[in-house]
């Protein structure tokens, strides 16, 4: 499984990423790689810098030091929209749908802007396909204001999917969901992985992370303290300490 990944270059590589806010260093010299078609989990206690790191990867925040490469290209200075067009998509921790547009219109936006489709019929067809993939076909014309939590999370993933990404960063897509709902989202993510998308899963729900990830990276207080196979990482003493002390 993980053996053939080392043969290819990583699709995403972050080197010594550092970001400070005023006197507070949120992310401190983090190295991170994501292999082609790999499933990596990113965990850490609250405040460990995961969100800042994700925002750095997607271009929402400019980093102070370090570099980020996508498929060998340096994207450190690129704005979010360029990264989206290159193929990096994300879902947000707290869903941020376009509230004044319908579900299908939300899906159409990345198809129009990140991928660049022009034909309205083609756009609509692809949007419908994505809705089917994530199980929201029945909510096609609904407003996001009327969606349940789990449907909002699906919409987030759907919108990320609509960018036809190579890399998907799923930021806490399952927070606050019930067990069966967590499994629903997990199934969607497994399907996407099978389709060839490299996925970074940021989560607090351990069973989901362990089940999903081929490799787990642990951030604590802005630093990476572990990076390896799930079983290894979860029994790492520092990881236990970080979570018990939480």
Partner 1 sequence: MNATNPTAPILVTISGRRVRRYLIPATASVLIALLGFALLDWISFEYAYIATYTILQYVVLATAWNILGGYAGYVNFGVAGFFALGVYTSVFNYKTLQLPLPVVIIIAGFIAGVVGLGMGYLTLRLRGVFFSIATLAFAIVLNTVFNNWHFVGGARGVSVLRPDAPEFFGTYPRYLFGVMFALAIAAVLIARAVEYSWLGRGLASIRDDEVAAECSGIPALRLKLIAATISGGLIGMAGAPFPFFITYVDPASAFNLTIAVNTVAMPVIGGLTSWIGPVIGAILLGALQQITTVTISSALSLMLVGVLLVTFVALAPRGIIGVVKSLRGPAA
Partner 2 sequence: MVSPELFFNALLTGMFLGGFYAAVSVGITIAFGMLDIVNIAHPAFIMLGAFIAYYLNSTFGIDPLLASLIAVVPAFLGGRLFYKIYYYAFERHGEESLQGLAFFFGILFIVEVGLLLVFGVDYRFVEANYIRKTIEFGYVALPLRLVIPMLAGLAIVAAIQIFTSRTFLGRAILAVSQDPGALRMVGGNPVRVKEIAFGLSIATAVVAGALLIIIQPVEPSLGREYIGRVFAICVLGGMTSLSGTVVASFIVGIAEALTTTFGGPAWAPAVAFGLLILTLIVRPEGIFGR
Binding piece for partner 2, criterion CB under 8 A, among 20-28, 55-63, 71-79, 163-171: 20-28
Of the candidates 1, 7, 22, 119, which one interacts with partner 2 according to CB under 8 A?
22
For residues 29 and 54, the answer to whether their CB atoms sit within 8 Å is no
Q: Which is nearer to partner 1, 60 or 225 (CB)?
A: 60
Give the DSSP H or E segment for 202: strand 198-202
Q: Which does 22 bind (CB under 5 to 8 A by kind): partner 1, partner 2, none?
A: partner 2
Count of residues in contact with partner 2, rule CB under 8 A: 3
For residues 243 and 45, the answer to whether their CB atoms sit within 8 Å is yes
Q: Which is nearer to partner 1, 61 or 201 (CB)?
A: 61
145 is a contact residue toward partner 2 (CB under 8 A) = no
* The Cα angle at residue 206 between residues 193 and 201, in degrees rounded to 5: 30
Of the candidates 2, 21, 31, 122, which one interacts with partner 2 according to CB under 8 A?
21
81 is a contact residue toward partner 2 (CB under 8 A) = no
SS (H, E, C) 86-122: HCEEEECCCCCCCCCCCHHHHHHHHHHHHHCCCCHHH
For residues 134 and 157, the answer to whether their CB atoms sit within 8 Å is yes
Classify residue 114 as left (phi > 0), alpha (psi -120 to 50) or beta.
Answer: alpha
Q: Give min distance, CB of 103 to partner 2, in A.
A: 21
94-102, long-range: CB within 8 Å, 24+ apart, which pairs?
Answer: 95/144, 95/152, 95/153, 95/155, 95/156, 96/156, 97/144, 97/147, 97/152, 97/155, 97/156, 97/159, 98/144, 99/143, 99/144, 99/145, 100/143, 101/144, 102/140, 102/141, 102/142, 102/143
Give the DSSP H or E segment for 218: strand 215-220
Q: Give min distance, CB of 22 to partner 2, in A.
A: 4
Of the candidates 14, 17, 27, 123, which one interacts with partner 1 according to CB under 8 A?
123
89 is a contact residue toward partner 1 (CB under 8 A) = yes
Q: Which does 102 bind (CB under 5 to 8 A by kind): partner 1, partner 2, none?
A: partner 1
Of the candidates 43, 114, 161, 174, which one interacts with partner 1 according to CB under 8 A?
114
108 is a contact residue toward partner 1 (CB under 8 A) = yes
Q: Which does 21 bind (CB under 5 to 8 A by kind): partner 2, partner 1, none?
A: partner 2
Query: Torsions phi, psi of 245, nearest 5?
Result: -75, 0
Binding piece for partner 2, criterion CB under 8 A, among 15-23, 122-130, 160-168, 205-213: 15-23
Where along the sequence are the contacts to partner 1 (CB under 8 A)? 58-60, 79-81, 84-85, 89-90, 92, 96-102, 104-105, 108-110, 112-115, 117-120, 123, 159, 162-163
Where along the sequence are the contacts to partner 2 (CB under 8 A)? 21-23
């Amino acid at each position: 499984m993980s053996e053939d990944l080392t043969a290819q270059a990583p699709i995403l590589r972050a080197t010594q990423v550092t970001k400070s806010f005023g006197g507070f260093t949120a992310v401190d010299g983090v190295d991170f790689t994501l292999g082609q078609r790999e499933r990596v989990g990113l965990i850490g206690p609250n405040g460990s810098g995961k969100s800042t790191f994700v925002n750095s990867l997607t271009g929402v925040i400019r980093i102070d030091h370090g570099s980020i490469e996508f498929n060998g290209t340096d994207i450190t200075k690129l704005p979010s929209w360029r990264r989206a067009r290159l193929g990096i998509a994300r879902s947000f921790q707290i869903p941020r749908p376009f509230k004044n547009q319908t579900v299908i219109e939300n899906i159409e936006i990345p198809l129009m802007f990140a991928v660049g489709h022009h034909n309205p019929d083609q756009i609509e067809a692809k949007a419908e396909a994505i809705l089917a993939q994530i199980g929201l076909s029945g909510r096609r014309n609904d407003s996001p204001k009327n969606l349940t939590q789990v449907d909002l999370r699906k919409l987030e993933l759907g919108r990320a999917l609509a960018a036809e990404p190579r890399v998907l960063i799923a930021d806490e897509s399952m927070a606050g969901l019930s067990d069966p709902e967590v499994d629903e989202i997990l199934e969607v993510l497994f399907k996407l992985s099978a389709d060839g998308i490299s996925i970074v899963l940021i989560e607090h729900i351990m069973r989901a992370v362990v089940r999903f990830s081929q490799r787990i990276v642990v951030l604590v207080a802005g630093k990476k303290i572990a990076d390896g196979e799930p079983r290894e990482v979860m029994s790492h003493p520092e990881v236990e300490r970080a979570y018990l002390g939480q």
